[in-house]
Structure 1
């Protein structure tokens, strides 16, 4: 268990995102900082679009079949992001998650019609990405920060959530509950996030799991922390839970069985060498989720027939 590192958050939610201004991001900010939004008619249009499209963005979660492919919160490599987005589109994913950068958002929406989610721990970075076309924002995908010893406390996450909601009240908002908290604390944080108007809770845990066995046993071991979180949190909140981090085609169906409304997959796809391999991996995971959905439908029909 890591101890929480408390770091100040920008006091002004409308301030422009400046290089090195966010204590969480350090040197990982893109070289071209986001410019502050101008109050133009396009912003109003964007808000209306978000409001009307929110139901569409959440549809796959409500049907318990969402598959979000994640390129990485600190991945600003256009070629890699383009490959991940293409793989998500061609492989049968329902959403794609990229770094919070308006240029990457424009790249993504030129390659797919899937809803684009952007990830960040800086609420001030979200509006520019939303104006560029992102339909969903994610406070989370913290894995890259753990390598530097940075972890996030419940108080910090709640503050980031409130600030994001005040800036973008209509956008679909997902928030990751960190695995560095014990399961009871993860559940309590999820309940508080639901009260703050969060639309989706995302779990994690693959980063802290070190499998002792190879093959299928190792894949199941790798997914155990995030599966446990999905099971516990999904029984405590009414909003959809997305199980992410450390999942594969073997364990993605287990997440749905555990209570998740969808799965998020990152390194299993974005670390592959070429787009063909990425498409194959996404398709494998998508097909495993379809098989699980078909199995449940058959079981439901059999029960109805027996009654």
Structure 2
């Protein structure tokens, strides 16, 4: 496993990495501070923040956890590296999705190669876009592995039909539409590459173990934290997610009966 940051590497190797996402477009110092403080008091592995140098400085002053920044702008990434960012994530496609723009495989690969010219000896994670076919997701992941990317992240989209893929007798209160496509991509891609994979979209504290069972080396927790007002509640939730990753593989058999993985793969 070619991961430069020792703390992150250890967690990924044990499939117990937990990334806390403050919001890829959230530059509100007050909001970010609450989440960073909670992450620092918990068992979280690292923090993912918006690509803003001022925010990087602020986060580093509050926490000893590694700081990841997410962007698709090479200049923003460079400036955040100067500010002290520990991990780069090429992702944050939401802005383009909202405007009907979808990056191609070639555009993503080109951006990665551009970033690698100035980002040496630092871990680079790339989000695999949900909108491309599974075959293309696998192809992109393989190409990213070849050019030296360190981590892969999967994402989901909230328009997957629940009834088609979920056993009708299963209570889906702890699952949502974004988690299932992200889980599927994780499962399929993990069979084709050796890079560690982070499953981020829609992952909750009680379902984080499922991601680990299906090939993820870690999870990303973000939107689930917005409902909590107190730091203590955030810490408790994060730790529940961390503890959930340490679970017996027997859960996989139970989950297989509830989610028709074979149907998802077709």
Give TM class, smaller chain.
0.7 to 0.9
What is the Cα-based RMSD across aligned positions, in Å? 2.5
Residue aligning to 1:192: 143
Alpha-carbon contact 2:174-2:206 (below 8 Å) kept: yes
Q: How many residues align?
A: 244
Residue aligning to 1:219: 174
Q: What is the distance in 2 between the residues matched to 1:272 and 1:140? A: 26
SS in structure 2 of the partner of residue 173 of structure 1: strand
**Residue 79 of structure 1: which of 30, 39, 42 is its match?**
30
Q: What is the distance in 2 between the residues matched to 1:162 and 1:97? A: 22
Residue aligning to 1:257: 213
Cα distance change on mapping 1:174 and 1:131 into 2, 3 Å:
same
1:156-171 maps to which residues of 2 (within 5 A)? Answer: 156-171=107-122
Instruction: Determine whether 1:241 maps to 2:192.
Output: no
Q: What is the distance in 1 between the residues matched to 2:4 and 2:137? A: 29
Cα distance change on mapping 1:207 and 1:171 into 2, 3 Å:
farther
* Aligned structure 1 segments of 4 or more residues deviating by more than 6 angstroms: none
Alpha-carbon contact 1:206-1:225 (below 8 Å) kept: yes
Give ranges in structure 1 of 5+ residues lacking alignment: 1-50, 297-307
SS in structure 2 of the partner of residue 167 of structure 1: coil
Deviations 1:216-252 (A, max 9, x none): 5143353210110000111111111111111101221
* Structure whose CA Rg is larger: 1
Q: CA deviation at 1:171?
A: 1.2
Q: What is the distance in 1 between the residues matched to 2:227 and 2:105? A: 30
Deviations 1:237-291 (A, max 9, x none): 111111111110122100000011101122112454443432232122112123x
Q: What is the distance in 2 between the residues matched to 1:72 and 1:211? A: 26
SS in structure 1 of the partner of residue 24 of structure 2: coil
What TM-score do the two structures reach when normalised by structure 2? 0.83
SS in structure 1 of the partner of residue 65 of structure 2: coil
**Residue 112 of structure 1: which of 39, 63, 73 is its match?**
63
**Residue 126 of structure 2: which of 153, 172, 175 is its match?**
175
